[in-house]
Amino acid sequence: MPAARTAPKVAAMRILHHMPLSPFSRKVRLALKEKGLDFELSQERVWERRPEFLALNPAGQVPVLEDEGGQVVADSSAIVEYLDEVYPERPMLGRNAAERAETRRIVAWFDGKFHAEVGLNLVFEKVTKRFFGLGNPDSAALRIGKQFIGPHLDYIAELSERRRWLAGSEFGLADIAAAAHLSCIDYLGDVPWEDFPRAKDWYARVKSRPSFRPLLADSVAGMRAPPHYADLDF
């Protein structure tokens, strides 16, 4: 009898399919760490459109979570909602409907507005286009991305001073989402921290959390992060 048929079924390791400079992947990596959940990272070259990956997520996008029990969850918002439901210790979204509504509003601000105004103009132009072979960055887009970042840093300053963390008195998914997006821009050296000291104070607090360390060790072939990127005393 072949061994494979008699061996007990081993619980599969939790796997997160990701890309290093995908802010949505980073959001989930931070959330998993903050919840104390172990996982392995599997880097996905989404532009290769591997059939095995498309079977996990027909949208062909990262992040995708394969949980220990085999549950597959695609899309970063679906993943973090799933994690808060299935692993409710240390809730990331809030402790009641009003807190969760406020967290989700701010997460949507960064996943939607920040990503459209800043992320797509900088990360897409400088990083994604290269991997997809879509040519050089468009200088008008880079200019727009750099111009739009200021109001977001002001908004972070306003929220974090009024409440300590972005959605309230506790660190949570709003901070995780904002930091995930900003950290990608910071890897490119495009966050003008010196002009926004109050947002920098908040980011320094997030950056010093143990959950953040693996992100600071990320590197992308052919794109070196500026020295301050991994420096907690930047």
CB of 4 to its own copies, least distance (A): 26
Are 118 and 145 contacting, i.e. CB atoms less than 8 angstroms apart? yes
What's the half-sphere exposure (Cβ side, CA atoms, 13 Å) at 103?
A: 25
CB of 1 to its own copies, least distance (A): 33
- Partners of 15 in beta bridges: 40, 66
- Partners of 74 in beta bridges: 64
d(CA 215, CA 169): 24
**Nearer to its own copies among residue 73 and residue 182 (C-beta):** 73
CB of 135 to its own copies, least distance (A): 16
Q: Phi and psi (nearest 5°) for 57?
A: -145, 100
CB of 106 to its own copies, least distance (A): 9
CA distances to 15, 31, 66, 85, 212 from 80, rounded to whole Å, are: 14, 7, 13, 9, 17
Joined tokens for residue 4: 């494979």
CB of 219 to its own copies, least distance (A): 28
**Nearer to its own copies among residue 71 and residue 208 (C-beta):** 71
**Nearer to its own copies among residue 104 and residue 207 (C-beta):** 104
CB of 113 to its own copies, least distance (A): 6
**Nearer to its own copies among residue 147 and residue 208 (C-beta):** 147
**Nearer to its own copies among residue 82 and residue 193 (C-beta):** 82
CB of 58 to its own copies, least distance (A): 7
Range 185-221 burial, b when 16+ CB lie within 10 A, else e: bbbbebbebeebeebbebbeebbeeebbeebeebeee
**Nearer to its own copies among residue 147 and residue 219 (C-beta):** 147
How many Å separate Cα 90 from the centre of its chain? 19
Binding site for its own copies (CB under 8 A): 57-59, 61, 71, 73-75, 77-79, 81-82, 85-86, 97-98, 100-101, 104-105, 108-109, 112-113, 155
**Nearer to its own copies among residue 77 and residue 128 (C-beta):** 77
**Beta strands across the sheet bearing 15-18:** 40-43, 15-18, 64-66, 72-74
